Each structure stands twice: as structure tokens, then as C-alpha cells.
Amino acid sequence: MIFRKATTHDLERMTQIMLDAIARLGAAGVDQWQHGYPNCERLERDVAEGIGYVLCEEDKVVAYGAMVLTGEPAYAHITDGGWLTNDDNYAVVHRMCVAEECIGKGFGREFMAAAEREAAKSRRSMRIDTHADNRIMQQMVRSMGYEYCGIIYFESRYLTAFEKLL
């Protein structure tokens, strides 16, 4: 498995992975990503900003996500709890999704583990948020040692927030 920064050559595959994930969430009755975000333009910006990452099995992209090392303004206000850390020394994973044909093979966990290893080089913790109805993502991050920290408001939605010390 190779975890690396995404390039413009990956955009078509990243877009397909994202569109499939949007469809899966919608079919499962989860309102997350059902209102035009994320979109192709956001993935292009992720690549341009150097925050887009892909997980590859051999030469094939099997998962995509954005890892931000510069903080997340929406995380400044958290309710129903609090962060494990009280500083800006954290990384964030956004928009993590796995290719349709790879669901159930552990690639989401592998993406997160690789992101954690990369973030641990300069950050003390990893944070992630997800829709309250996205039980699959919540179960995955909890099983990887993330702790529920509370509710944040992001992109006109209330989301469950988690953090893990690295």
C-alpha cells in the first residue's frame, strides 16, 4: 500500500470514488454529502493546496481524503463536550472515501492509519468529524481509538467530532 499526495492525474479516479461514496450515503439514508459538497472543484482545490491524499494498492487509487495540518476554524467551537487537546497542534482528515469495489477490505482504516503516521511527524493529535447518521465512519474511528469529543457546526450542518492522540 502506498499513501501519497494526490496529483492532477488522480482527479478522475478521486472524483469517481467521491461520487460513489455520495451515492452510498444517500442510499443508506445519510444526509451527509447530499447537497453539492464535496464536489469536483473541491477535490481540484485539495490537490492544488497539497492537502489531497490517496491510498494506492499497486498503481490503483483505492481511497481518497484530505489531510489538513493548519487547523480547522469550525473546530474552535465545540458543544456537548470538548477536545482532548487544547492547542492547534492537530491534523484533520476531511472527505475520506473508499472506492466502491474496495468496500469492506479495510482500506478506510488503512487510509486513516497512514494519515496518522504522516501527521504524527509534526502533530500531537488527529481530529475528524462526520454526520450523526454516518454510523459506519463513527464505528471505524472509534475502533481505531478515536474518542467522541462533541458536536461542531460545519457547512451548515451539525457533525459529531472525534479526536485521537498520536
- Domains present along the chain, CATH in parentheses: 2-165 (3.40.630.30)
The label of the residue with cell 488527529 reads: 126
Model-level pTM?
0.93
pLDDT at 150: 97
Radius of gyration of the chain (CA): 15
Tell me what percent of the residues of the chain surpass a pLDDT of 70: 100
Work out the average pLDDT over 24-48.
92
pLDDT at 154: 78
d(CA 92, CA 163): 9
Are 106 and 69 in contact by the 8 Å Cβ rule? The answer is no
Are 139 and 109 in contact by the 8 Å Cβ rule? The answer is no
Helix axes 135-143, 107-119, angle to 10 degrees: 50
Work out the average pLDDT over 91-107.
96
Closest CA to 134 of 105, 100, 160, 157: 160
pLDDT at 62: 98
Are 111 and 55 in contact by the 8 Å Cβ rule? The answer is yes
d(CA 73, CA 75): 5
Q: Average pLDDT over the chain, rounded to whole?
A: 95
- pLDDT tens per residue across span 107-146: 999 999 999 999 999 999 999 999 989 999 999 999 999 9
Q: How confident is the model at residue 67 (pLDDT cuts 50, 70, 90)?
A: very high
What separation in angstroms does the CA of 103 have from each of 12, 26, 31?
Answer: 19, 16, 20
